[in-house]
A and B are shown apart, each in its own frame.
Chain A
Amino acid sequence: MDVRHIAKLSNLELTEDELREMEEHFNAIMEYFKKLSSVDTERVEPTFYVIKHQTPMREDRVEKGLEREDVLGIAPHTEGGYIRVPRIR
């Protein structure tokens, strides 16, 4: 399991210690999946959803959302009505 790659995809910086710890967790999870993989699923259709219902739908109607001050209030940094974030490289 390439923990470093997963961390990078999520833009997370991990120390060597953290990497090692994560690797242990990841490997434990992967062990479970190995157990699942041992089941013969040759003739089984994949189950994406256990509930076979049509997804609920809404009519196309506009509803009032949040006030801007509330939106910006939960952001760590804002500027001129925008949410300010570190530049993504």
Chain B
Amino acid sequence: MGYETVIGLEVHCQLLTDSKLFCGCSTDYIGKEPNTNVCPVCLGLPGSLPVLNKKALEFALKAAIALNCEILPYSHFYRKNYFYPDLPKAYQITQYDIPVGRHGWIELPYSHKRIGITRIHLEEDAGKLVHPTKTGRIEHATYSLVDYNRAGVPLIEIVSEPDFSSPSEAREYLMELRSIVQHLGISDGNMELGSMRCDANVSVHREGEGLGVKVELKNMNSFKALERALNYEVERQIKLIKSGGRVEQETRHWSEPEKKTISLRGKEEAQDYRYFPEPDLLPIYVDEEILESIKSDMPELPANRRKRFVSMGIGEKEASIMVIEKSIGDYFEEAVKYFGDAKSIANWILGDFLGELNRAGLEIQDSRVKPHQLGRLLTLIKDGTISGKIAKKVFSIMFDTGDDPDEIVKREGLVQIVDRSEIEKVVEEVLSANPDAVESYRKGKANIFNFLVGQVMKATKGKANPNVVRDILQKKI
């Protein structure tokens, strides 16, 4: 009998505001000296009062609209109380019964499955703890060090319905979600740097039976880690049930080095957050005026952009790859301004360009090759100045140096030879140097022809126009 998997995701995205959610401290905390980016509000000093960042609310509403949520005309903040030193106030300001938005959905780009969004709400981030030990493991630490620079940075939490029936669907959703927040310009969605974080709820059950016990998974810091952790956990639960065991309701950590999930049992007992309405803030009223001004300012979203790319002549799959990372889509659109054949641009970006970027460990926006230069390179191929093969070589030099393609072609003497008499000369040389090959071609070995073309190309360092070479060879042989 088969097993079915049920997965739900809880995603946190840091919002790209300049200042924190309730105070004027900067949100730019990465790489800063500890505790240099704090004030009485985010330190929770007595007498300080939080004041809501208007832009953070607008960003949350943008996300709620993009995720097709019902926007609630009234919502408010709560205190979630817990004793842990990453929050100096001993509570987190968050939302609870009335979030900014609820009951939304998104459609996955590949499987076209519709995933429900339970809720989306605003809350503040916590500080960072360091546990200094020789082993690096928290259980061996005798004390902890706290940096409050991140405390109070605005987050949105997006909770999905348990609508995923496989780890790959969950990954697809997370990638689409990242693309949406990137296109909205409200978060950079960087999992490695922690500006996008994801927890998962996983359970399995026998086909036709009721739902299994949920396990909460934490600490997945990349898309690959998420999929691996989910796969591991699904396997673990199925094995456990098959061997007569019972899945326990618990929180487990994904360990990337060990490639397994580890129980945190004992650490987190039944949580009791004692939520109550935040008395230091008043309610949020979202009226038509606010909503209309946000709706009129909505950028193009990934689903529409994919459709538009397809209408430009790009395959559906290629369009998806270019949209899933906003910066690639931006680069593509810019390059198309300089060279109208969108399909060729896409092929170059998804082929040689992404290859070089992966090797160099760079993002497309950090590349030395600018969109107009890629467009120019393709123009050089089209007008016959260089061959497609030489273009790959030119591109590789462009990638390393950032030089213009024209300059590289001139400097390296890569201009394509189209002059027939010049090529004829080389063809004759090749024919007289390879009498055996010519002989066997005449005896019917047709594939020798390509060998001879190759010899001519080699003799011209790839610069001869291959069509002209074929034409001349055909006549001479």
Binds A, one of B18-26, B198-206, B414-422: B18-26
Which residues from chain B contact A62 at a C-beta distance below 8 Å?
Answer: 18-19, 24-26
User: Quick check: A88 and B54 within 8 Å, CB to CB?
Assistant: no
The stretch that binds A, out of B2-10, B144-152, B215-223, B429-437, is B144-152
Contact (Cβ within 8 A) B284 A55: yes
**Contact indicator per residue, chain A 41-78, by CB within 8 Å of chain B (1) or not (0):** 00000001101111111111111111010011010000
Let me know if A79 is at the binding interface, CB within 8 A: yes
Known: A49-B76, A65-B38. A85 touches B146 (CB 8 A): yes
Min CB distance A68 to B, Å, is: 5
The verdict on A56 contacting B25 (CB below 8 Å), with A48-B277, A79-B145 known, is no
State the total of A-B contacts with C-beta under 8 angstroms. 128
Chain B binding surface, main DSSP class: loop
- Asked if A82 lies at the interface with its beta carbon under 8 angstroms from chain B, I say yes
Residue in A57, A64, A79, A86 whose beta carbon sits within 8 Å of that of B53 in the complex: A57
Shortest distance from the beta carbon of B53 to any chain A beta carbon, whole Å: 5
Interface residues on chain A, size class: 35 or more
Nearest A-chain residue to B287, judged by Cβ: A54
A51 to B145 alpha-carbon distance, docked (Å): 40
B255 is an interface residue with CB less than 8 A from chain A: no
Q: Chain B interface: which size bin? A: 35 or more
Q: Residue A28 at the B interface, CB < 8 A?
A: no
Contacts of A11 in B (CB 8 A): 83
B282 interface residue (CB < 8 Å to A): yes
CA distance A87 to B84 in the complex (A): 10
| B33 in contact with A87 (CB, 8 Å) | no
Verify B54–A55 contact, CB threshold 8 A: no
**Which of B's residues lie within 8 Å of A, judged by CB?**
17-19, 23-26, 33-40, 42-43, 45, 51-57, 76, 81-85, 90, 130-131, 138, 141-148, 267, 272, 274, 277, 281-285
Instruction: List the interface of chain A (C-beta within 8 A of B).
Output: 5, 9-11, 48-49, 51-66, 68, 71-72, 74, 79-89
26 residue pairs of the A-B complex, CB under 8 angstroms, read: A11-B83, A49-B76, A52-B283, A54-B284, A57-B57, A58-B52, A58-B53, A59-B55, A60-B53, A61-B18, A61-B19, A65-B23, A65-B38, A68-B33, A68-B36, A71-B38, A80-B145, A81-B33, A81-B34, A82-B147, A83-B35, A84-B144, A84-B146, A85-B143, A85-B144, A88-B144
Q: Which 8 residue pairs spanning A and B have beta carbons closest together?
A: A63-B24, A65-B39, A82-B145, A55-B282, A60-B55, A57-B54, A81-B34, A85-B85
